[in-house]
Amino acid sequence: MKRVLRDVALGALGCVATVGAGTGALLAASTDAYAQENQTATPQAQASGVAIRRVQVEGNQRIEPATIASYLQVGPGDTFDPERIDMSIKTLFATGLFSDVQIEQRGSDLVVSVIENPVINRVIFEGMRTLDEEDLEDEVQARPRSVFTPARAQGDVQRIIEVYRRAGRFAAQVTPQVRELDQNRVDLIFEVDEGPVTGVRDINFIGNDEFSDRRLRDAIVTTESSWWNFFSSNDNYDPDRLEYDREQLRQFYNNRGYADFRVVSAVAELTPDQRDFYITFTVEEGVRYEFGEINIQTELNRLPEILLRAVNPIRSGTVFRGEQIEDAIDAMTYVAGSVGYANVQITPVVERDRENRKVNITFEVDEGPRTFIERIDIVGNTRTVDRVIRREMQVAEGDAFNRVLLDRSRQQIRGLGFFTDVKVEDADGSQPDRSVVTVTVEEQSTGELAFSAGYSSQESFLFDVSVTERNLRGRGQFLRLRASSSSQRQQLDLRFTEPRFMGREIAAGFDIYSLRTDYRDQSSFENQSTGIGLRTGFRIGERTNLGLTYSLIQDDTQIADSFVDHDANILTPDINQCDPANPNRPLLCDQEGTFLTSVVGFQVNWDRRNSPVNATRGFNLDVSQDIAGLGGEVNYLRTEIEGGVYYGLPLRLPRHVPRQRRHH
């Protein structure tokens, strides 16, 4: 009987799972097997009233008998109760460790016979062409050294199919196979037939009068399939993306005055050849609204209505745009935070006047409950030490919760350049007036090792090597060592910066370099320049920084005695070109000798960008000035101004749609 049950359970894996296929056959086989076993075990345990002397376990290989006995509802000293024995069988099956369980009475002994489910030795994927094994390994639950059950394997089949469905392959088929090994081990093999990509043949809209189908297609993420679109997967049908498109259409109309717009339905129909989908959106546009009365209700002393109106971007009589309501709330929240109301709550009350086609909005401003930061947790920094991140935070533990400062902290952490992504989230603390802030970072590589080689007709062979680390030892320090060489130029420089010198908000660093240039064949001179520089910088305003520098440079220039006669293309006899008696004395002779240059400088940086990483608006301005002459033998004044203005271009780029997205 045990062998029959094992064959039935494993044989159920021979089915081919496709999109929409369930695990009914597999579960039915397991249920029938369990029912047959239960019918066998129950009559053998009818001798109630007899006390159990001991419990014997048979058939186990990996699992200890004591572990199996712990799942039983009866034990030594108990009577042979059929109901409790039946419950024991169900409990053992529910563990997922066994493919067969029998409980029988042998005299006064209770004998438990089990067949253990095999252990997975390897999980193998075959037949994949477009996806990597890592993509599927992250989805399936089967793991080496875990217990194999047909139900779990069938569940993994559905997960694999879901991965291919999201990739636009609705015809994908997955067949699970089991290869039995010794010591009750198996190799679990998923044979994958990916099938063709299921594209989008046509996107249609019904009910749109104000905007054409072509304009609405540009507003959604899903695109129609085309042979030239190689780099985007948005032309593959994805139900999650379709739900996202519904929201995109709502925002499109909502930001153009159509406050009553709604998507009645979004239907995807498979073509007869099962290779593409027809997608049809049925919409109701409604009428176009304008902003009506804009009122602000506030009783906060330091936050008068006139101040909030000044920053509110909404103006009466303009076309209604839903996103402007969020912009207004953000602007007023920021102002409230700047005057000390960290937890202000702004609630917009929207009233639609359908007769006059106006949207009247009342912003109710309330101070809200006062909340303090109980704890700040840093997550994801495997290399960067906590203090490098914490020192960029604009709030500390014990401070009042301030979302504006938290957002500014996120921007400063991103500005370090050590992380690909930074998230700042808050959650309830141990008490109602406490909040826990979690900063989640995703680190990126900060070290660079660069080699380069080339050939120039002027400098012959060129070689360059540099080592750069922007986050030395995870402490935020910057270090760069560079060496380059050619027939005319040899350079070696070292640069180091400590962003928090002596634990203070002061950056300090030094530069050391040596540069030798040889232009004797071209201009009859060579120069050796050696210098050292000291730098410091600190913040003098919220968005303004001041840097101070000092450099000491020694230049040694030598003029060759012999020079090239360009007319005859021959070398003249060695002469002292810089002899004052020489009528052809070159002006370069004024630079011959050893000179010491002492340079003091400053740099002011004014940064008004909205993001230090991906700026889309604002500007950045640098003004620097160097003065040479405070010591040394060289005098000059150098002034430089550099800046940039940032403005986001309205370009439509390929977008990635998350699997799940909350809509408000």
Look at residue 285 in the predicted model and tell me its pLDDT. 92
Cite the beta strand spans of 127-184 per DSSP E.
173-181
- Contact yes or no for 594/555 (Cβ under 8 A): yes
Look at residue 172 in the predicted model and tell me its pLDDT. 81
Q: What is the C-alpha separation between 86 and 450, in angstroms, rounded?
A: 71
Whether 372-443 and 488-647 share one fold: the answer is: no
- Span 385-412, pLDDT tens digits: 998 999 889 889 988 888 778 888 998 8
Look at residue 116 in the predicted model and tell me its pLDDT. 85
pLDDT-above-70 percentage for the chain: 83
In this structure, of 70-84, 122-136, 511-525, 569-583, the range with the lowest mean pLDDT score is 569-583
Closest CA to 600 of 657, 650, 546, 550: 550
Look at residue 33 in the predicted model and tell me its pLDDT. 42
> Which residues, 6 or more positions from 654, have their beta carbon under 8 angstroms from its beta carbon?
231, 232, 234
- Span 407-418, pLDDT tens digits: 889 988 988 889
- Contact yes or no for 488/519 (Cβ under 8 A): yes
> Which residues, 6 or more positions from 35, have their beta carbon under 8 angstroms from its beta carbon?
none
Helices and strands: H and E segment counts in the chain? 13, 27
Q: Which CATH architecture has domain 199-284?
A: Roll (3.10)
- Span 600-648, pLDDT tens digits: 999 999 988 877 777 888 889 999 999 998 888 889 999 999 999 988 7
∠ Cα 413 418 420 (to 5°): 85
- Statement: residue 586 has pLDDT above 80: no
Look at residue 289 in the predicted model and tell me its pLDDT. 94
Q: What is the C-alpha separation between 156 and 96, in angstroms, rounded?
A: 16
Closest CA to 93 of 154, 24, 30: 30
Q: Is 468 exposed, middle or buried (0-12, 13-18, 19+ CB in 10 A)?
A: middle
Q: Which CATH architecture has domain 488-647?
A: Beta Barrel (2.40)
Segment 318-326 mean pLDDT: 91
pLDDT-above-90 percentage for the chain: 29
Domain boundaries, the chain: 199-284, 290-366, 372-443, 488-647
Closest CA to 121 of 185, 167, 71: 185
Mean pLDDT of all residues belonging to the chain: 81
Look at residue 569 in the predicted model and tell me its pLDDT. 54
82: tokens are: 């059929």
β-sheet bridge partners, residue 84? none
Fold classified for 290-366: Ubiquitin-like (UB roll) (3.10.20)
Q: What is the C-alpha separation between 481 and 28, in angstroms, rounded?
A: 69
Q: What is the pTM of this model?
A: 0.48
∠ Cα 264 269 270 (to 5°): 165
Neighbours of 245 (CB within 10 A): 24
CATH superfamily of 372-443: membrane protein fhac (3.10.20.310)
In this structure, of 55-64, 123-132, 331-340, 654-663, the range with the lowest mean pLDDT score is 654-663
- Statement: residue 567 has pLDDT above 60: no
